[in-house]
Amino acid sequence: MTTPSQSQPGSAQAFARLQAEVVRLQRIIELKDEQIRLLNLRIFGPKAEKLSSAQMPLLLEEVSLTLGEVEQEAALPEAQKQEPLRRSGKPRQSHPGRDPLPASLDRREEIVPCCPEDCRCPQCGGERPVIGYETREELAFTPAEFWVRVIKREKRGSHCQEEQGVVTAPIPAQIVPKGKLSNEFIVEVLVRKYQEHLPVYRQCATLAQDHGIELSRKTLTDAILAAGSLLSPVVGAMRRDLLGGGYIQADETRMPCQTGEKTGRNHRAFMWEYSRPGGLVVFEFQLGRGRAGPREFLQGFRGKLQSDGYDVYNKLGEGIVYVACGAHIRRGFVDALKLAPLDPRPKEIIRRFGELYAVEREAREAQLGAEQRLALRQARSVPVMTALKERLVTLRQEILPGGKLAQACDYALGQWNRWEEYLQDGRLEIDNNWCEGAMRPLALGRKNWLHIGSVAAGPKVAAIASIVETCRRLGINLREYLLEVLPKLGDWPINRVAELTPSAWKAAPPAPVTNV
Give the whole-angstrom CA distance, residue 84 versus residue 52: 9
Q: Are residues 247 and 390 in the same domain?
A: no
- Output the pLDDT for position 44: 60
Average pLDDT over residues 58-63: 49
Residue that terminates a domain, selected from 431, 463, 486: 431
467 and 484 in a common domain: yes
Q: Is 181 helix (H, G, I), strand (E, B) or coil?
A: coil
Strands (E) in 235-390, as ranges, are 247-257, 267-275, 281-286, 303-306, 320-323
Closest CA to 234 of 499, 510, 513: 499
* From 134-143, 275-284, 341-350, the region with the lowest mean pLDDT: 134-143
Report the percentage of the chain scoring pLDDT > 70.
Answer: 83
**Does residue 63 form part of some domain?**
no
* Mean pLDDT value of segment 183-196: 93
pLDDT at 10 over 60: yes
Q: What is the pLDDT of residue 514?
A: 43
What rounded mean pLDDT belongs to the chain? 84
384, 405, 431: which is the final residue of a domain?
431
What whole-number percentage of the chain has pLDDT above 90? 50
pLDDT tens-digit series, residues 278-324 = 999 999 999 999 999 999 999 999 999 999 999 999 989 889 999 99
319 and 240 share one domain: yes
Together in a domain, 247 and 369: no
Rounded Cα gap, residues 73 and 51, in angstroms: 7
The Cα–Cα gap between 470 and 459 comes to: 16
Task: Classify strands 320-323 and 281-286 as parallel, antiparallel or unpaired.
Answer: unpaired
User: How does pLDDT run across 199-229, given as a tens digit for each residue?
Assistant: 999 999 999 998 888 999 999 999 999 999 9
What is the β-pairing status of strands 267-275 and 320-323? unpaired
pLDDT at residue 65 tops 50: no
Please give the tally of structural domains in the chain.
2
2's CB contacts (< 8 A; 6+ apart) are none
Co-location of 306 and 339 in the same domain: no
Residue 241 binned pLDDT confidence (cut-offs 50, 70, 90)? very high
Q: Which of 405, 431, 457 is the last residue of a domain?
A: 431
- Given CA atoms 429, 435, 436, 441 in this order, what sign does their dihedral have? positive
In a domain, 463, yes or no: yes
pLDDT band at 363 (very low <50, low <70, confident <90, very high): very high
**Range of 453's domain?**
222-323+434-507
Same domain, 424 and 445: no
Measured CA to CA, the distance from residue 267 to residue 259 in angstroms comes to 6
Bigger pLDDT: 216 vs 160: 216
Residues 227 and 303 in one domain: yes
Same domain, 350 and 410: yes
Per DSSP, the residues of 29-78 read HHHHHHHHHHHHHHHH-GGGGGS-TTHHHHHHT-SS--HHHHHHHHTS-H
Task: Write out pLDDT tens, residues 366-406.
Answer: 999 999 999 999 999 999 999 999 999 999 998 888 888 99
Give 245: exposed, middle or buried? Use CB within 10 Å, 0-12, 13-18, 19+. Answer: middle
Domain match, 385 and 236 both? no
CA 186 to mean position of chain CA atoms: 24
DSSP, res 264: T
Work out the pLDDT band at 59, boundaries 50, 70, 90: low
Q: Look at residue 194 and tell me if it is in a domain.
A: no
Mean pLDDT value of segment 420-426: 95
Judge if 466 and 317 occupy the same domain: yes
Helix, coil or strand: residue 343: coil
- Whether this prediction's pTM lies above 0.85 is answered by no
Encode burial over 383-398: b for 16+ CB neighbours within 10 A, e otherwise.
ebbeebeeebeebbee
Q: Do 390 and 453 sit in the same domain of this protein?
A: no
Tens of pLDDT, residue by residue over 435-489, are: 999 988 888 888 887 788 889 999 999 999 999 999 999 999 999 999 999 999 9
| Of the candidate ranges 150-159, 230-239, 285-294, 353-362, the one whose mean pLDDT is the lowest | 150-159
Q: What does the alpha-carbon distance between residue 393 and residue 403 come to, in Å, rounded to a whole number?
A: 16
* 453 and 470 together in one domain: yes
Is 147 part of any domain? no
